[in-house]
Amino acid sequence: MCERSYKNSCSLVRHVTYECQKPPRFQCHKCGHKTHYRLCAFGASLARSASLISNTALLERTELTLAFSGARPRSWSVINAATEPVTNRVSSRTWPISTSCAFKCATCGRGYKVARSLWRHQKYECQKEPSFSCVKCAYKAKHKSSVLKHMISVHPVRYPCPKCCKSYTLKRNLSRHMKVECGKEKNLRCCYCESAYYYKQDLQKHMTKVHSYKFEQEGC
């Protein structure tokens, strides 16, 4: 095989299946360009067509394709309509991009710089009722992320300590409290006074602020 490495196992499987020591299988029907992936060939065809038509027409064609399909394509070429035409295959697995708000909603007229924002607006926002609701109150939102932010800010989950009256919003903070703080003595003491702390960073802040100690020097 080869020596390429990947962070995700699915990327490695895709590389072994379509790329590694395999010739390109998909060909553009306009220029003959070959690639390992079908949608990359479509993106190359779209990019090379930009030299024959204006940027405005290309953006309209892209917007029409998005509106007709109703789904996000897995591979696109980056389109910069305000600066220069796309004559080469720039990138794959990205949405078309414009420096101006060239992607406009046909219903409400709102413009977006990224085609994905227009797709999301048409699917979840434009003349749509909020489809995501909070499980603890009557709050509703058009995006799941908005409901999650609402839950964190309005209905935070508290993890109480079984040994004292303290509680924490994150479980890892409770675990750290029980491991280091609860029922334990402060074992990090200042060299210049009697102050003591649980954590090294707190001791360093104290020594820097109160005693003007510089930690570039040797430790005390």
pLDDT at 155: 85
pLDDT at 51: 44
**Considering Cα of 211, then 217, then 219, then 220, what sign does the dihedral take?**
negative
Residue 46 lies in a domain: yes
In tens, the pLDDT along 104-155 reads: 888 888 888 888 888 888 888 898 898 899 988 999 999 888 988 898 888 8
What's the maximum distance between 2 C-alpha atoms anywhere in the chain?
Answer: 79
Determine whether 98 is exposed, middle or buried from the number of CB atoms within 10 Å of its CB (0-12, 13-18, 19+). buried
User: What is the 3-state composition of the chain as percent helix, strand, coil, each rounded to the nearest 5?
Assistant: 40, 10, 50
pLDDT at 89: 38
Task: Determine the Cα–Cα distance for residues 46 and 115; give it in Å rounded to an integer.
Answer: 15
Q: In the chain, which residues have pLDDT < 70?
A: 1, 30, 38-99, 216-220
Phi, psi dihedral angles at 114 (to 5 degrees): -115, 135
Residue 164 lies in a domain: no
pLDDT at 206: 93
pLDDT at 53: 40
Residue 146 lies in a domain: no
Q: Which of 108, 125, 142 is at the close of a domain?
A: 125
Q: Which of 106, 125, 144 is at the close of a domain?
A: 125
Q: How many domains does the chain have?
A: 2
Q: Which of 70, 97, 125 is at the close of a domain?
A: 125
In tens, the pLDDT along 16-27 reads: 888 888 888 777
Say whether both 118 and 192 belong to one domain: no
Query: Is pTM, for the whole model, over 0.85?
Result: no
What are 162's two structure tokens?
A: 């079984």
Residue 138 lies in a domain: no
Residue 180 lies in a domain: no
Is residue 134 within 8 A of residue 147, CB to CB? The reply is: yes
What is the amino acid identity at position 215?
F
Say whether both 205 and 113 belong to one domain: no
pLDDT at 120: 86
Residue 36 lies in a domain: yes
Say whether both 15 and 112 belong to one domain: yes
Say whether both 121 and 218 belong to one domain: no
Is residue 29 within 8 A of residue 45, CB to CB? The reply is: yes
pLDDT at 94: 54
> Range of 192's domain?
188-220
